[in-house]
Amino acid sequence: MKRTVMTIFSMLAVIAMSVPALAHFQMIYTPEIALEKGQAVDLSLVFTHPFEAGHTMDMGTPEEFYVLAQRGEEAKSKKTDLKEYLEPITWTSLTNSGQAFEAKLPKKVTRSMGDYMFVLTPSPYYESEEDIYIQQVTKMVMNVGGLPGNWNTPAGLPCEIVPLDKPYANWVGGVFRGVVFANGKPVPNAELEIEYMNHAPDMKNRKFEKKAAAEAPQDSFVTMGIRTNDRGEFTIGLPKAGWWGVCALGVGPAKTHKGKELSQDAVLWIKAVEMK
């Protein structure tokens, strides 16, 4: 009997080790971030596993959600709070449905030429399997009219990824560079996870499309891992068109929440397009 029990536990351990560790990514999604002119913009805020359109986690009410502008009339106030536009929704992945948010922003928010840096600080999420909290401070930069603005300016967040290349103007086959910061200082040897948004978001029906754009030859390709150098810098390739998420794990200064470990991560979303 003891041998049978031990065999079962051994089999379960092998199965557990064979299951890929899926990376969590807080999304700020909209189809296009290089706009010709100012317009109303719809955003979907989803906490999920983007490559496999896997398990979607329930989001609590965000602590902060705002935009920083650096051109036109919006730049006078710099920071525009967007929480009034948040509406709770249910987002469906390929495996489950989870609590998410959408924001339908009027044209006045992005009406002028220049850059718009969207910042989301979600409430910490309790990951029961690891018995820790996760909080991913997330940025996405949009441009209107091709006139650059604050795309490479730190937002003054506890932790963030500051781009060295425009996040909204990348050709497929190029590279993207950035610097990881915490408390305003570069973070050397920071652990980064990179994932491709492999299933197109269907914003109208609030779900991921079933069809995948790419197939990973092995589990380690689902979530790619790199480290920053001694100056906190990193470089990644962009082999396919679409959205790429970069997450710096646990670099934030907050380390605990409600008496448990907190991983305060920095996330940046970038987009690559094909040359035609």
24 lies in some domain? no
Burial of 128 (0-12, 13-18, 19+ CB in 10 A): exposed
7 lies in some domain? no
Which parts of the chain register pLDDT below 70? Answer: 1-22, 71-77
Structurally, the chain folds into a number of domains equal to 1
Residue 240, pLDDT score: 98
39 lies in some domain? no
Residue 117, pLDDT score: 97
User: Range of 170's domain?
Assistant: 45-273
172 lies in some domain? yes
pTM given for the model: 0.90
29 lies in some domain? no
